[in-house]
Amino acid sequence: MTGKERIIKTLKRERTDRVPCFEWEIDKKVTEVLSPGKSTAEFIISEGLDAICVDLNYRSEAIGEGLYRDEWGIVKKDTGEAHTFPLYGPIRVPSDLTAYIPPDPGEPERYRTLGETLAKYGHSAAVILHLNDVWSIPSRLMRFEDFIMNIIDEPAFISDIVNMAVDVNIGMAKEAARRGVEIIYTGDDYAYNSGPMCSPQHFREIFAKPLKRCVSAYKELGLYVIKHTDGFIMPILDYILDAGFDCLDPIDPIAGMSLAYMKKTFGERIALKGNVDCARTLAMGIEEETRVETRRCLEIGAPGGGYILSSSNTIHSSVRPENYAAMLETWREYGNYS
């Protein structure tokens, strides 16, 4: 069974030969210790992981002092890590949205990395594309504090931004599906450790309907859709489940989310991915602690299928390479279905 076949069966909550395993990102600082000289994709294939995740290619221009502006017009600061930090965007008032021109979904260059990855690895590994749904792009098209206040003061304005972003991402999903993509994930985080970034009422009134529209459009294209969101999402979980995602990630342990509860309560409705703690265990623990936690995740998530083993977010630069190696060793030892 190939990695792609294994993941698709898991997203359909069917049993496979073994629990699939992959990460949204694996930092080069980690892979270079474990497999010097290999690219991230080469590391993934050599370790027998089941998927390679790809981002779209957006043009970016340097505007000085470590700042960059991408095609959405979002200004970001270089952090020295894999991700830049978003600061503000081009939209402040409704008239800005009227004049705004978003990225063109039909731009061929946007799919260059995706096409190269599909051609080289798509016959065996799942090539999973990162798109967005209703939160990340809208919340970065203006200063975040303004976005939150406008949810309360100008909900129609925020709704217009959300629906514009959804339309663009649906256009990109059409292009990706035409190129052979079968699985996407949306990386929009909705919550802090303490709870959602907006009230459940506002999420229902502003975000729930376009979220369902977005996921439905993706699935109408024949795509499987995985939802990633950190934080304590229980107050808005019904809206996430109702949107129709195939899988939910990462069941955030530092936010008090319980993999056991989610598996018992929702495991027949949605596949689950996660959740070896990358903030504490993988970053600050020892190898034996990693093995114990990895085995616990497998014992909880694997029965009956519908489970993907991964960290609780990504294998970031502070993860101890020996702990990630211990996680993978434990997965290989205990991740097979009898």
Instruction: For residue 338, give every residue at least 6 positions away whose Cβ sits within 8 Å of its Cβ, in sequence order, or none.
Output: none
Chain-centre distance for alpha carbon 294: 20
pLDDT of residue 278: 98
Strand partners, 86: 76
What is the domain class of 3-58+102-334 according to CATH?
alpha beta
- pLDDT tens digits, one per residue of 156-175: 999 999 999 999 999 999 99
What is the pLDDT at residue 15?
85
Domain boundaries, the chain: 3-58+102-334
- pLDDT, residue 82, reads 78
Question: Please, which residues bridge with residue 311 across strands?
Answer: 276
Entry pTM: 0.97
Q: Which residue has the tokens 């598996």?
A: 263
Q: For residue 192, what are its two tokens?
A: 């802090």
Listing DSSP states for 58-97 in one string gives --EEEEETTEEEETT--EEE--SSSS-EEEE-S-SSHHHH
pLDDT in tens, 20-68: 999 999 999 999 999 999 999 999 999 999 999 999 999 999 999 999 9
pLDDT at 80: 84
Beta-strand runs (E) in 82-174:
85-88, 126-131
Band (248; pLDDT cuts 50, 70, 90) = very high
Give the pLDDT confidence of 76-118 residue by residue, as tens digits.
Answer: 999 888 788 999 999 999 999 999 999 999 999 999 999 999 9
